[in-house]
Structure 1
Amino acid sequence: MSWLPSERVLSIQSHVVFGYVGGKAAVFPLQCLGYDVDVVNTVNFSNHAGYGRSGGTKTSADELRQIFEAMEQNELLRPARILTGYIPGGEALSAVKELVAKLKHQKPTIMYLLDPVMGDAGRLYVSPDVVPVYRAMLPLATIITPNWFEVEVLTEIKLKDLSSLQKALEILHTRYQVPNVVISSIPLTPWLWSALPPSIRPENEKSHLICLASSLPTPQVPSSSTSVVHAQCVPLFPGYFSGVGDLFSSLLLAHFHPDEHPQNLTANCLSEAASQALTKTHAILQITHGQALTLPEDERLPSDDELDKAEPLRRTRRMRGRELALIRGQDILRGVNIRSLREMRIWRDFWATQ
């Protein structure tokens, strides 16, 4: 096994009683891969917001600081890796930023994956005051895993063509000094499909997402002054699934081993980790989708805002059947019976037209 037996992960993100989002989607996969995980819940909710109704509380900044202080006093803050996800407000996020900065100062080699969970499909679902805090946190990160919308929010660049994508990555790498950027999901629009090398481009741009990994050269792997870019496309499953980004980020962190050298000469440690995370996440989604197709008809009804509002349990039944099948797929998480990887492939001429 490639992990260190003593490695601990400090996971700071949301908690739900029912279902698999936030920490519920991230902690179990990390444990399956041999990591001890210390869990701090930024919210305690009954279920995720997609159900339309939920109960519970948000953890305040003071409560987070009390938890961090007690852990420090008891010498329990000993992570080798940090993972942060959904934190709904700026004050609570600032408390997390203070902790990460302190841990990075005490141990500069600590690995930090920052998932800037802010929104999707063009809208924020957190308080807007988190945005400047996230920007201030970016230089602390080893890896960040925004989706396309979160890239736009962080960089203030609308992703509309290859030039804008290049500019956004340049801002993240140069202005914010993030060495490793993985854009977990970008819709494969016509401009992006046509820009892709043939080795990455699917036959049809419809119903696909692209995962893109961009890493700066390291002293061990020198290159040019620009980043090395890898990408891979995956087909979309119909319907809405929650917790996919949380699962992907946890797997990416688990498989990221910067001291190891990939056998594939065109790969690097980031693309190798992304290949593992993408493969396993897609396989879990495949099981989840298959499971949803076997449900009774009243649990497979299509989305309809008007009907869902009139009958809230209509939405509940649909959401309930689409919770990630992590337990059924735990062998996948551990890497059992995975016959081939969805390998991230190098995009050699990504910067050529800059």
Structure 2
Amino acid sequence: MSNGRILSVQSHVAFGYVGGKAAVFPLQCLGYDVDVVNTVNFSNHSGYGRFGGSKADAAELSRIFSLMEQNELLRSERLLTGYIPSGEALAAVKEMATKLRKANPELIYLLDPVLGDSGQLYVAPDVIPVYRSMLPLATIITPNWFEVEVLTDVKIVNIATLRQALKVLHEQHNVPNVVMSSIPLKPWLKAVLPSRSWTPAEEASSDDDFLMCISSSRDGGVTSVVHAGRVPLIPGYFSGVGDLFSAMVVAHYNPTSPSILSDTKPLDTVSGETALSRAVSAALTKTHAMLKLTNDYAQALPEDQRLPTDDEADEKETNRRVRRMKGRELRLIQGQDIIRGVQAVTERKMELWHGFWAA
């Protein structure tokens, strides 16, 4: 039995698991029919050093969407968009998303604004204003820390600027649900986080050994309901993790759950959850377990396939990088029981952040 249809619009690679290759199979494992539009068609992801292929331009994307519409195939209940290579191509995606939203006001649209990370843009700057104009169309957005700063023009350096960035997204851009991922556990952030019981091993670990995730759901008033969680950092270069995470969020998001009171009061006061925090908890749990499975596999490979990152050595021998990248591709097929929830893994729970908006 199908859970419904999802239209996935993002990148494609022949080899490996990033973009749509990291999202479509997991969504199918969870019972969704997935319609796929590729924004690029590459040999492999850019981390290999050598990569190439073609990028879909605005005309090609518009033609695909137009033919789907003419054939009455644009009928998905959910929409997931990821990497789009240019502002013009993104504008074509925006036009399609606008039509879907108009035809179905209940459309669940997860917009992953793939802009960059660690202070570096991955896309042309002309993409940024188009993304900003698309934010009101989205049900959920899943930017990382850097992408939130780019979208809001707010440099997040303390709790006040964190609040300011969320207010810009909720109030200025009318985004009902925001998920901020890949947040470094900085001292000022740790000092204001909701209290919880960490394991002795976690308490003894350095703050640098964790990444934070924050979810924020607008409650119909002037504030939002905020949850936070953290996961142990698994060092190393892995691609497709964000794509998998976004797919798991949109797959598990259920705004019609009986325990969710209404759109204007999204907090279940018994469980302390919202529809968003529940979906993010499931996504964090499965994504982190999949990353651990991948890392365990990579660490067991022969030494020449698990060499540490060394830019100088990689420049001298490109295949050194290739061997390492191949060993770090997500183990999606081997971990499909994790995706389906059949295999028991450590739960990564999002915790209600009482007093987040307190002055």
Q: TM-score range with shorter-chain normalisation?
A: over 0.9
Alignment of 1:126-165 (within 5 A): 126-165=123-162
Query: Partner of 1:348 in structure 2?
Result: 354
- Following superposition, the deviation at residue 337 of structure 1 comes to 2.5
Structure 1 residues 45-68: Cα deviation after superposition (integer angstroms, max 9, x where no partner): 000011111020000110001101
**Matches of 1:243 and 1:256, distance apart in 2:** 20
- Following superposition, the deviation at residue 341 of structure 1 comes to 2.2
Select which of 203, 213, 216 maps to 1:214: 216
- Structure 1 197/281 Cα, relative in aligned 2: closer, same or farther at 3 Å? same
**Matches of 1:340 and 1:240, distance apart in 2:** 22
CA contact (8 A) 1:20 1:324 kept: yes
**Matches of 1:340 and 1:109, distance apart in 2:** 33
- Following superposition, the deviation at residue 216 of structure 1 comes to 0.7
CA contact (8 A) 2:338 2:345 kept: no
The answer on 1:12 being equivalent to 2:9 is yes
CA contact (8 A) 1:215 1:270 kept: yes
Q: Match of 1:322, as an amino acid?
A: R
**Matches of 1:306 and 1:195, distance apart in 2:** 40
Query: Partner of 2:342 in structure 1?
Result: 336
CA contact (8 A) 1:200 1:345 kept: no
Select which of 326, 337, 344 maps to 1:320: 326
Query: Partner of 2:223 in structure 1?
Result: 226
CA contact (8 A) 1:84 1:114 kept: yes
- Partner secondary structure for residue 43 of structure 1: strand
- Following superposition, the deviation at residue 5 of structure 1 comes to 3.0
Q: Match of 1:21, as an amino acid?
A: V
- Following superposition, the deviation at residue 200 of structure 1 comes to 7.2
Q: Match of 1:141, as an amino acid?
A: A
Query: Partner of 1:221 in structure 2?
Result: none
- Partner secondary structure for residue 206 of structure 1: helix
**Matches of 2:234 and 2:19, distance apart in 1:** 21
Question: Which portions of structure 1, spanning 4 or more consecutive aligned residues, are displaced by more than 6 angstroms?
Answer: none
**Matches of 2:174 and 2:42, distance apart in 1:** 34
**Matches of 2:133 and 2:233, distance apart in 1:** 33
Query: Partner of 1:245 in structure 2?
Result: 242
Query: Partner of 1:302 in structure 2?
Result: 308
The answer on 1:118 being equivalent to 2:115 is yes
The answer on 1:169 being equivalent to 2:160 is no
**Matches of 1:352 and 1:191, distance apart in 2:** 16
**Matches of 1:248 and 1:140, distance apart in 2:** 20
Structure 1 residues 167-213: Cα deviation after superposition (integer angstroms, max 9, x where no partner): 00000000000000001221111111112122177524121100100
- Partner secondary structure for residue 208 of structure 2: coil
Structure 1 residues 41-90: Cα deviation after superposition (integer angstroms, max 9, x where no partner): 00000000111110200001100011011111111111000000000100
- Partner secondary structure for residue 216 of structure 2: strand
**Matches of 2:150 and 2:208, distance apart in 1:** 25
- Following superposition, the deviation at residue 6 of structure 1 comes to 5.8
Q: Match of 1:249, as an amino acid?
A: S
Q: Match of 2:286, as an amino acid?
A: K
Structure 1 residues 231-284: Cα deviation after superposition (integer angstroms, max 9, x where no partner): 100011110110000000000000000000267521111000000000000000
**Matches of 2:329 and 2:15, distance apart in 1:** 9
Cα RMSD (Å)? 1.4
- Partner secondary structure for residue 174 of structure 2: coil
Counting aligned pairs with the same residue, the percent is 62
CA contact (8 A) 2:90 2:130 kept: yes
**Matches of 1:55 and 1:250, distance apart in 2:** 25
Scaled by the length of structure 2, what TM-score is found? 0.94
CA contact (8 A) 2:289 2:345 kept: no
The answer on 1:272 being equivalent to 2:278 is yes
Query: Partner of 1:186 in structure 2?
Result: 183
- Following superposition, the deviation at residue 339 of structure 1 comes to 5.1
**Matches of 2:2 and 2:318, distance apart in 1:** 46
Query: Partner of 1:205 in structure 2?
Result: 207
| 5+ long unaligned stretches in structure 1 | 219-223
Scaled by the length of structure 1, what TM-score is found? 0.95
CA contact (8 A) 1:200 1:233 kept: no
Query: Partner of 2:91 in structure 1?
Result: 94
